[in-house]
Amino acid sequence: MNPAFTFAGPAPTSELLNDYSNPGPLERPMKTTLVITEQCNLDCRLCYGMCKDAKARAELSIGEWRSVIDDLARSGVIWLYIEGGEPFLKAGFVDLLAENTPRMFTMVRTHGTLVDGALAARLKEIDVGIVLVDLWGATAATHDALTRTKGSFDRSVEGIRRLVAAGIDTQTLFILNRHNVKELQAYCDLAGALGATAVGILRLYPLGHVKEQWHELSLSLAEMSEALAALRAPPGLRIMQSWHPRNANCCWQMSAINAFGDSIGCAYLREYVNFGNVLHEPFLRTWKHPLGHQLRSGKVERSCGPCAATQGSHGGCRATAYAFHGRFDAPDPFDLELNNGVDLTTLPG
């Protein structure tokens, strides 16, 4: 093993063999989401980052990100999930990625519209782990309407083809909403035909400009459940979804930093928490923020038994729990067993 990149944790002991308990709060982070930029070449209705709005602060430069990632490595992080905006619009991003793939598993979330043959080959060469491509419909009409960018479907599909052809583990992401729900089966068939290894079906979050369109975009929990129950995975394609009974409380393992250096716990908590800015203090200090510790603890008002059994965590997503109830320990209303009559098509207040 390369000692320069080894986290100095305790050696295993035989005491560990007898106990396989659920995750507890980690002492140090192991996985971090980086919102590397809020620049984007699309104009998505489903944008959580408000990418097109004017910014009051400057984003972290590549040099600043380099220092932050060094700090993360020292803190024990070995897994980076990088998203935007559109990461490939950030000048210097691919070189930064290349510097870190020898020491961290990397996942990059992109719209794929900028992935040409040369970029796909470079990503393969630098050993990127997984590339996730946001594609939100089985047809150009649906996807382009959601991105408000004509031709984006064709460009994203072509990007997926190039990534797959380069031999990169490529997965697609589908944010389930009223405008694409009827295409879910055709979408998975398309993803399989394109050579994606997996489809991630994501819930809609009331963040950014999505809040203003929530009533029009959001499905009821019954509609979501019906669509997922009817779905049949094509051969060779893995379906990833986080609805009951696979609704995880991911907070225990997550950390995240936004494009401006704010430590925000999870990209979906971006509007609710700020543990401090990594330009001004070490990341680990922000990680130890009392609210961060509370979120990681899994201490919630109610837990769904089947989901706890499959996910080893309690209460479901904390971001949606907070969005609908205003409390970080509240039940996640996207969970069938925890919903308790909450209408998901209408945001509170």
Looking at residue 263, the DSSP 8-state letter turns out to be B
The amino acid at residue 106 is T
Reference 256, options 80, 109, 100, 134; nearest CA is 80
Q: How far is the CB of 25 from another protein (least distance, A)?
A: 7
| Smaller CB separation from another protein, 2 or 340 | 2
| Smaller CB separation from another protein, 98 or 140 | 98
| Smaller CB separation from another protein, 20 or 230 | 20
Q: How far is the CB of 182 from another protein (least distance, A)?
A: 35
| Smaller CB separation from another protein, 7 or 148 | 7
Give yes or no for a contact between 115 and 62, defined as CB atoms under 8 angstroms apart: no
Q: How far is the CB of 313 from another protein (least distance, A)?
A: 11
At CA 228, angle to CA 179 and CA 136, rounded to 5?
A: 35
Give yes or no for a contact between 208 and 47, defined as CB atoms under 8 angstroms apart: yes
Distance CA 85, CA 337 (A): 34
| Smaller CB separation from another protein, 157 or 256 | 256
Ramachandran assignment for 194, one of left (phi > 0), alpha (psi -120 to 50 degrees), beta (any other): alpha
The neighbouring-strand residues paired with 31 are 79
Exposure string over 173-212, b if 16+ CB within 10 A, otherwise e? bbbbbbbbbebbeebbbbbbebebbbbbbbbbbbbbbbee
Binding positions for another protein, rule: CB under 8 A: 1-2, 5-7, 9-12, 14-27, 30, 76, 78-79, 101-106, 127-129
Burial class (CB in 10 A: 0-12, 13-18, 19+), 222: exposed
Q: How far is the CB of 231 from another protein (least distance, A)?
A: 27
| Smaller CB separation from another protein, 185 or 297 | 297
Q: How far is the CB of 118 from another protein (least distance, A)?
A: 20
Q: How far is the CB of 41 from another protein (least distance, A)?
A: 27
Q: How far is the CB of 188 from another protein (least distance, A)?
A: 24
Strands 130-134 and 238-241: unpaired
| Smaller CB separation from another protein, 98 or 233 | 98
Q: How far is the CB of 135 from another protein (least distance, A)?
A: 22
| Smaller CB separation from another protein, 130 or 342 | 130
Distance CA 97, CA 77 (A): 15
Reference 314, options 252, 258, 231, 223; nearest CA is 252
